Amino acid sequence: MTTEPSPKINKILIANRGEIAVRVIRACRELGIETVAVYSEADRTALHVRYADEAVLIGPPAPRESYLKIETILDVARRTGADAIHPGYGFLSEREEFAQACQDEGIVFIGPPASAIATMGDKQAARATVMKVGVPVVPGSEPGMHDDDILAIASQIGFPIMVKAAAGGGGKGMRAVHKAEDLPNALASARREAESAFGDGSVYVEKMIEGARHIEFQVLADTHGNTIHLGERECSIQRRHQKLVEESPSPFMDDDLRQRMGEMAVRAAEAVGYVNAGTIECLVDKDKNFYFMEMNTRLQVEHPVTELVTGVDLVKEQIRIARGRRMGPAESFLHPKGWAIECRINAEDPYNNFMPSVGPITTLLTPSGPGVRVDSGVYRGFEISPYYDSMIAKLITWGDDRAEAMLRMRRALGEFIIMGVRHNIPFHINLLNSFSFIAGRIDTKFVEERFAMDVYESSPPAEELEAAAIAATLFAHRRAQLASQVVTRNERDTSNWKWVSRWERMSR
């Protein structure tokens, strides 16, 4: 518990780019706080540069020469008089040396203490820490072990296993191994990828929980010893360990499991003296046994779904907590309302193995209307660069229940027009027409093993068919309530090219 005076925050530097930088700038503007954007040479015309009160060039396009240069960013903070730094997600957001450097410089780091980042950033230290407070973890090895020792432990816990990078996340340095003879090559390739991505080639192995769901809990903790959770997010729709669709709440959860996992998330955060916003990520098997996987010590890409069902602005809460604010009774008794779904709109081709697409966006028309939110850092004419991730936007819809949220998402996806680069909107449209997704019968392998573009699922198990039929009936009922006319999938009377031509004629 802190006894220090609350820090004053009048100007915040956002050490990031893209949609998250725009998101933070908007929150600051509503709080009356000035903002400083940093940008690389590739981002001279980026939206976050235009929106911020000040913007400073920090280097060439490559992240290691710009967004990952701690001293350069701190120098900008000094020169512009920034009181605080918001790291966003990715880049330096989970680097304990960055948080510590901010503290040493007398600049508020809008995130957890460096010690919490260090503990939770070391996968083995994180496992050991949460185990002490009774949090269940997946059986596995320690990082830094020799291949022979890892092979012996893998044989003891049984295949299949997962090889994971000790210092990272986001699917980097991860390999699924189903046979002992494949382990040496998997270890070598995982180490190479981890070294390239995180500068640390340490890896470890864990038992693979087959048929598992990826469910995470959002936590908030202030400097006065109060820690709460804001419910769960379902993140099982993934490809190569990268999330594609998230929703809150999870269709798999019941009240008992939610309570037990929520209590676990709070204990895990408190175990490292956590402060600010963070996420406890878990694997949950088909029998509703759950296992701690890792803690993301930052704001998540998918935070908007939690915001829509709770009404809490997580970025503002981060800033208020950094200012020393005590969370009051309102946050202690949150009652989520409705359902929210997020689709990540990426510049990648779902018909060509999700190959990234780069180049200028020639046409961009975003959806709107009740229950629809679009978080984006791009605009018409903006160029998708090969230097950074391929995200164009996050499309989020809210409804009174899951059926309404899905209907709104279907409608919004149909309104989303992007030209100039290939994108994954067709993937999302097909996913929302999958009876397994409608029924909530998904796991982390669903996209890779049981879903294909423009291929209908066939011969489902009887229990899945029954669940899908019930869900589809509710879905149809909701559709009849909400709309007098609904255009079915792909039932557009003109091509995108004709549609845009008409739009341009009307705009003259």
Could you give the 3-state DSSP secondary structure of residue 349? Answer: strand
User: DSSP string of 281-302?
Assistant: EEEE-TT--EEEEEEE-S--TT
Q: How many CB atoms lie within 10 A of CB 252?
A: 18
Q: Which structure tokens are listed for 482?
A: 């909400």
Catalogue the long-range contacts made by 423-426 (C-beta closer than 8 Å, 24 or more residues apart).
423/345, 423/346, 423/347, 423/348, 423/357, 423/392, 424/244, 424/344, 424/345, 424/346, 424/348, 424/349, 424/350, 424/354, 425/345, 426/350, 426/351, 426/453
State the catalytic residue, choosing from 239, 298, 410, 478. 298
Q: What is the tally of helices (H) and strands (E) in the chain?
A: 18, 22
CB 295 within 8 A of CB 267: no
Q: Which structure tokens are listed for 262?
A: 């929520």
CB 59 within 8 A of CB 42: no
CB 291 within 8 A of CB 337: no
Residues 432 and 247: their CA atoms lie apart, in Å, by 13
Q: How many CB atoms lie within 10 A of CB 380?
A: 13
Residues 70 and 15: their CA atoms lie apart, in Å, by 9
From the list 228, 170, 165, 151, the residue with the least C-alpha distance to 202 is 165
Q: Which structure tokens are listed for 330?
A: 């309102």
Catalogue the long-range contacts made by 129-134 (C-beta closer than 8 Å, 24 or more residues apart).
129/268, 129/271, 129/272, 130/267, 130/268, 130/271, 130/292, 132/271, 133/267, 133/268, 133/270, 133/271, 134/264, 134/267
Instruction: Assess whether 213 carries a catalytic annotation.
Output: no
Residues 52 and 38: their CA atoms lie apart, in Å, by 9
Active site residues: 298
